[in-house]
Structure 1
Amino acid sequence: MDHDTPAHGHDMGSGLPQGLLPAVVLSAVACSYLFLVRRARRRNPVLGWSRRRTAGFLTGTALLGIALLPPLAPLAHEDFRGHMAQHMLIGMYAPLALVLSAPVTLLLRTLPAARGRQLTAVLHSPPVRLITRPAVALTLSTGSLGFLYFTPLYDATTGDPAAHWLLHAHFLLSGCLFAHVIAGPDPAPSRPGVRARLVCLGVAVAAHAVVSQMMYGGFWVHIHAPVPQVRAGAEIMYYGGDIAELLLAAALVTTWRPEPRRPAVRRPAPAREETAPA
């Protein structure tokens, strides 16, 4: 940590060009989801599509808009507290809302049969089965935090716009992956039982707490920002991460359904052999 050097960012230009591209992309994504919802309802009016899922997707895109548009986006390049707030929105809150909207299920309902079979084959492929394992998802989402904040990587991303956007993409994709593995309603062929997912979520909670406490105390942290900003950012990670993980746990409990117990099959007793009277 630097005690007297302010956090530095890169010149992103004026407010309009900075916010125009993310706004256009997010608007296009939201419109595409609404278009698929309309198609799903036309194909099967009885089954339809849940309004909660639609609201979840729109909420997720709105949270991404808050994170990537002014005033938070310019602040994130100048103040570590803004970066951490942006990190929470992109990496934890928006992914949970997007995952709960079940976009893969929506695609399966609207794609032609041949394309649907291809998507199903991809979901069952070995690479997808590998990355959707809880340990892998946990490593990609939570495990990368130590590599980011305890190495020069964070400072490198603040000076390179391309690296900064790659960091945003990593936060979003790894956050969506972890939320999907823990509580996603979309099909997941290699998803373990509820107990294993709760253990994985507990490890994520502990890891977030350790990283934020080490950041607050200045232990091995490598962030070129004033100490008050780093400590405030650590508090945002600590409390904001707890709230997001509680919401994820609530989503897991809400979407969990116990497996029906199969009735025990009773085997017929062996017939007794009748002996002829002497």
Structure 2
Amino acid sequence: MHHGDAGVPMDALVAGVLLPFLLIVGYLCFVSRARRRNPARPWRARRTVAFLVGAGLLAVALLPPLASFAHRDFRGHMLQHLLIGMYAPLALVLGAPVTLLLRGLPTGAARRLSRLVHSGPVRVLARPVVALALSVGSLGALYFTPLYDATAGRPVAHGLLHLNFLLSGCLFAWVIAGLDPAPNRPSVPVRLVVLGVAVAAHATLSQLLYAGVGVGVHAPGGQVRGGAEIMYYGGDIAELLLAGALIATWRPDRRRGRVTGAEVSRTGNSRTEVQGAEIPGTGSVDSPAPAPGAVSPRAPGPLIPVDKPTRPAPADGRPGPAADPV
């Protein structure tokens, strides 16, 4: 196994360069494609900025000097964990990558992606309790079992650990504050309660780690306590940012009068499905702009006044009572 800077495996360095690079290039390509397909509704710049920040945070976490620090010190590992598992996922999710794919993919591929988002397995994963269990449970399994020591000297296992951090973090951020469509997304108060439980769970794990109760990490005590402090304070900041994103991206329920998922399946309205029409329970904030000259199927027609009949004039020629105003 070849090693790069300060003992970091070379394949880990390559992955640290390639993953953020591919994310950035792919995202910008789909932004350009979405703009060409619908110039009247350009992609929002703040979403692009958010996604680029997320990819940049991934690069910071996976490349030296932080990767070198994490390779030899538990405190560096914890900093890496926070960036990969909490800060980068929030920024990536705020970039609304699924909505961008639905706008940029061909119709057939976008339909398949939409069906996947609303499939049974994704519905299970999108439940806040499930996302919370995957996010917090993986931390408990890592730091209070021999799993951390088992992955420390194995580059492949360590890479899979980072992938778990990233995916579970993206799942939780998407369920709580994501802009992309999600099946059966609960109300804002419910998601705030789940986020509060996550804050309490992370605080409890960090305190147990600091006290050394049941810890499965074999590292110097000062490093473990320092890592626990980073987890405690850094996790609080990340969860406050997530709560702020939830409040900032919240919109009133506008589902009434929109096309439902069943209607999309029956009618095959690919334009509605692909370009972001809201499906009940998704909380999507992207509705398609109508094509020039198109008429919405639900748009009300012009109001046509109906004249009420007037009463006939009496036989003596005197005018009858005036008709009621319309």
TM-score by length of 2: 0.75
Distance 1:226 1:220 in 2: 15
* Alignment pair present for 1:40 and 2:30: no
* 1:126 aligned partner, one-letter code: G
* Alignment pair present for 1:13 and 2:30: no
Q: CA deviation at 1:259?
A: 2.6
1:161-190 deviation per Cα after TM superposition (whole angstroms, max 9, x unaligned):
111001000000000000000000000012
Distance 2:103 2:88 in 1: 23
Q: In structure 1, what is the equivalent of residue 123 of structure 2?
A: 129
Q: In structure 1, what is the equivalent of residue 276 of structure 2?
A: none
* 1:99 aligned partner, one-letter code: V
Q: Secondary structure at the match of 1:185?
A: coil
Distance 1:21 1:98 in 2: 18
Q: Unmatched 5+ residue regions in structure 1?
A: 1-10, 263-278
Of residues 222, 235, 249, the one that matches 2:229 is 235
Q: Secondary structure at the match of 2:213?
A: coil
Q: In structure 2, what is the equivalent of residue 218 of structure 1?
A: 212
* Alignment pair present for 1:249 and 2:243: yes
* 1:145 aligned partner, one-letter code: L
% identical equivalent positions: 64
Q: CA deviation at 1:12?
A: 6.0
* Alignment pair present for 1:92 and 2:86: yes
* 1:200 aligned partner, one-letter code: V
Q: Unmatched 5+ residue regions in structure 2?
A: 257-326
Of residues 111, 116, 127, the one that matches 1:117 is 111
Distance 1:79 1:237 in 2: 14
* Alignment pair present for 1:141 and 2:131: no
Q: Secondary structure at the match of 1:117?
A: helix
Distance 1:185 1:117 in 2: 19
Ranked by relative contact order (alpha carbons within 8 Å, sequence separation 6 or more), the top structure is 1
* 1:220 aligned partner, one-letter code: G
Of residues 150, 156, 160, the one that matches 2:150 is 156
**CA RMSD of the aligned region, Å?**
1.5
* Alignment pair present for 1:50 and 2:28: no
Q: CA deviation at 1:24?
A: 2.4
* Alignment pair present for 1:80 and 2:70: no
Greater Cα offset, 109-118 or 200-209: 109-118
Distance 1:95 1:260 in 2: 27
Distance 1:226 1:259 in 2: 51
Structure ID, larger Rg:
2
Q: CA deviation at 1:261?
A: 11
Q: Secondary structure at the match of 2:222?
A: helix
Distance 1:14 1:69 in 2: 10
Q: Secondary structure at the match of 1:74?
A: helix
Q: Secondary structure at the match of 1:225?
A: coil
Q: Residues 257 and 21 from structure 1, CA distance in 2 versus in 1: closer, same or farther, beyond 3 angstroms? A: closer
Q: In structure 2, what is the equivalent of residue 173 of structure 1?
A: 167
* 2:236 aligned partner, one-letter code: D
Q: CA deviation at 1:107?
A: 0.3
TM-score by length of 1: 0.88
Q: Residues 261 and 36 from structure 1, CA distance in 2 versus in 1: closer, same or farther, beyond 3 angstroms? A: closer
Q: Residues 12 and 221 from structure 1, CA distance in 2 versus in 1: closer, same or farther, beyond 3 angstroms? A: farther
Q: Residues 22 and 255 from structure 1, CA distance in 2 versus in 1: closer, same or farther, beyond 3 angstroms? A: same
